[in-house]
Structure 1
Amino acid sequence: MFDGVIFDMDGLMVDTEPVWMECWEPALAHFGYAVPPGLADAVRGSAGDTASRILHEMVSPQLDTRAFWDYFSSLAEKIFSQGVDKKPGLDELLAYLGERGVPCAVASSSSKKGIERNLRFIGDLDCFQAIVPSSEVAHAKPAPDIFLEAARRLGTKPPRTMVLEDSFNGVRAGATGGFFTVMVPDLAQPNDEIRSVASRVCSSLLEVRDLLAQGEMG
């Protein structure tokens, strides 16, 4: 069994990625731009300066990214305030880990307020011993900073810590940090690059629980 488990949030624990997808077109249109092909996939899982750099490269270097992210987030918040759906298998996996005393953390590109709101809504906030938003580390995913900080707070070492992710940038971050990194795909299926760096690809969080129980991971 692993010494600790670090969870991403959006697209892994809660079904929020479709909401973010829905916000791209009206948010960019508000600033006079169209959504270029591949933008959402390129940004997914990242945050801060990393995400803003991608916007400048793929949309326009003139885009005021601070104003854009504020507006983009305000659109999403209106939807999230109505609640979010829990991903299948989350309760079973958290129960399995909790029964065995395995500490868990959340490492997400969302704000701490957003993380806590979503986890409180689905009733799982108390299952986590640490919450690390990207704003609390120097570099966002695909840099490994957020996972390294989460492991530090849990008191675990990367090789003995499992990272659960749904995004390409998240998988890259976990692998770069030396973690046992499991991809549970949501909107994007793994390509050859991601399969080569991920420790495992599972179809759901329930499969993660089952493989742990069978001794095939950890």
Structure 2
Amino acid sequence: MAAPTEPRGTALNEASPDAVVLDTDGVITDTARVHASAWKRVFDDFLRRRARERGEEFRPFDTGADYLLHVDGRPRADGVRAFLASRGIALPEQVSRPGQDSVAALADAKDAAFRAALDRDGVVAFPSTVALVRRLRKDGIGVAAVSASRNCARVLAAAGVDALFDVRVDGMDAARLDLAGKPAPDLFLEAARRLGTPPGRTAVVEDSLAGVEAGRRGGFALVVGVDRNGRAAALAERGADVVVPDLGELGWPPWRTR
């Protein structure tokens, strides 16, 4: 398990932030693994079929490297494009004839696979995250749940934690407001706006490389990286001020690790 890194400093100095924005999948709820599994099912089906048709070697989707580098934290369609580009594959955005593969078709298949897994297996929230959010609320610090997924509300409700958050910004909002996906900071900036706090007084908590980069690009006062997959160095390189293996290791103010 990765040890907490030393903070690089923050504009907050000795004060706590006025608000904290937390990513949903992988920080609030244990659903990152469900997303990874759904992506693998969809991409492997596509890659296996493509390899068979072209007489090529089948190279499966890696739920470690491929998921973390190309898909984690991104909107579905962006994840499809990024992963396919890593394999030198280009697909049309939409189907123009029956049976044709497209970015939209793969994205929809992934959504269906994720929803089926969610209905079958349920979802749980990380106890350490729930404890932290309760403490923040007790201290009068605003909290927001953010996700690129359109299933965010469903996930939070299934985990029984939807009432803990003052604000939720998700894939439905991104589509309605034309917000760019991570690593652009749009989702986090919208959450801070709804909480009524400037980025310079707001902390971001993320477990994905794209999400940490988004927090840094958005000028947030503090970016906390949650390292559940042995990526502490990569999270720090992308912009995390503090990296912890679990939010139970995070002191408060949040740059004081235990």
Please indicate the TM-score interval, normalised by the length of the shorter structure: 0.7 to 0.9
Which amino acid is the alignment partner of residue 75 of structure 2? A
Question: Residue 174 of structure 1 contacts residue 181 of structure 1 at CA under 8 Å; is this kept in 2?
Answer: yes
User: 5+ residue gaps in structure 1?
Assistant: none
Question: Residue 228 of structure 2 contacts residue 246 of structure 2 at CA under 8 Å; is this kept in 1?
Answer: no
Alpha-carbon distance change, 190 to 24 in structure 1, aligned in 2, over 3 angstroms = same
Task: Tell me how far apart the structure 2 counterparts of residues 24 and 48 of structure 1 sit (CA, whole Å).
Answer: 9
Tell me which of 145, 159, 162 is aligned to 2:200: 159
Task: Tell me how far apart the structure 2 counterparts of residues 68 and 49 of structure 1 sit (CA, whole Å).
Answer: 8
Percent identical: 30
Counterpart for residue 81 of structure 2: 53
User: 5+ residue gaps in structure 2?
Assistant: 1-15, 51-58, 92-100
Instruction: Tell me the TM-score normalised to structure 2 length.
Output: 0.75
Task: Tell me how far apart the structure 2 counterparts of residues 178 and 148 of structure 1 sit (CA, whole Å).
Answer: 9
Highest Rg: 1 or 2? 2
Question: Residue 80 of structure 2 contacts residue 106 of structure 2 at CA under 8 Å; is this kept in 1?
Answer: no
Tell me which of 105, 118, 124 is aligned to 1:80: 118
Alpha-carbon distance change, 48 to 16 in structure 1, aligned in 2, over 3 angstroms = closer
Question: Residue 172 of structure 1 contacts residue 194 of structure 1 at CA under 8 Å; is this kept in 2?
Answer: no
2:57 is the counterpart of 1:15: no
Task: Tell me how far apart the structure 1 counterparts of residues 140 and 235 of structure 2 sit (CA, whole Å).
Answer: 34
Task: Tell me how far apart the structure 1 counterparts of residues 126 and 75 of structure 2 sit (CA, whole Å).
Answer: 22
Task: Tell me how far apart the structure 2 counterparts of residues 29 and 52 of structure 1 sit (CA, whole Å).
Answer: 12
Task: Tell me how far apart the structure 1 counterparts of residues 77 and 152 of structure 2 sit (CA, whole Å).
Answer: 20
2:221 is the counterpart of 1:206: no
How much does 1:192 deviate? 4.7
Q: Please report the RMSD computed on the Cα atoms of aligned residues, expressed in angstroms.
A: 2.2
Please identify, of 73-82 and 58-67, the stretch whose mean Cα deviation from structure 2 is larger. Answer: 58-67
Task: Give 3-state SS (helix, strand or coil) of 1:191's partner.
Answer: helix
Structure 2 matches for 1:1-218, cutoff 5 A?
1-31=16-46, 32-33=49-50, 34-36=59-61, 38-41=65-68, 42-59=70-87, 60-62=89-91, 63-81=101-119, 82-111=121-150, 114-137=151-174, 138-179=179-220, 180-192=222-234, 194-195=236-237, 197-208=239-250, 210-212=251-253, 216=256
Task: Tell me how far apart the structure 2 counterparts of residues 11 and 193 of structure 1 sit (CA, whole Å).
Answer: 14
Alpha-carbon distance change, 159 to 123 in structure 1, aligned in 2, over 3 angstroms = same
Question: Residue 144 of structure 1 contacts residue 177 of structure 1 at CA under 8 Å; is this kept in 2?
Answer: yes
Alpha-carbon distance change, 77 to 108 in structure 1, aligned in 2, over 3 angstroms = same
How much does 1:134 deviate? 3.4
Question: Residue 107 of structure 1 contacts residue 131 of structure 1 at CA under 8 Å; is this kept in 2?
Answer: yes
Runs of 4+ in 1 over 4 A off after TM superposition: none
How much does 1:30 deviate? 3.2
Alpha-carbon distance change, 190 to 134 in structure 1, aligned in 2, over 3 angstroms = farther
Task: Give 3-state SS (helix, strand or coil) of 2:191's partner.
Answer: helix
Q: How many residues align?
A: 213
Alpha-carbon distance change, 49 to 119 in structure 1, aligned in 2, over 3 angstroms = closer
Which amino acid is the alignment partner of residue 77 of structure 1? R
Which amino acid is the alignment partner of residue 168 of structure 2? I
Please identify, of 7-16 and 131-140, the stretch whose mean Cα deviation from structure 2 is larger. Answer: 131-140
Question: Residue 48 of structure 1 contacts residue 135 of structure 1 at CA under 8 Å; is this kept in 2?
Answer: no
Task: Give 3-state SS (helix, strand or coil) of 2:127's partner.
Answer: coil
Task: Give 3-state SS (helix, strand or coil) of 2:212's partner.
Answer: helix
Instruction: Tell me the TM-score normalised to structure 1 length.
Output: 0.88
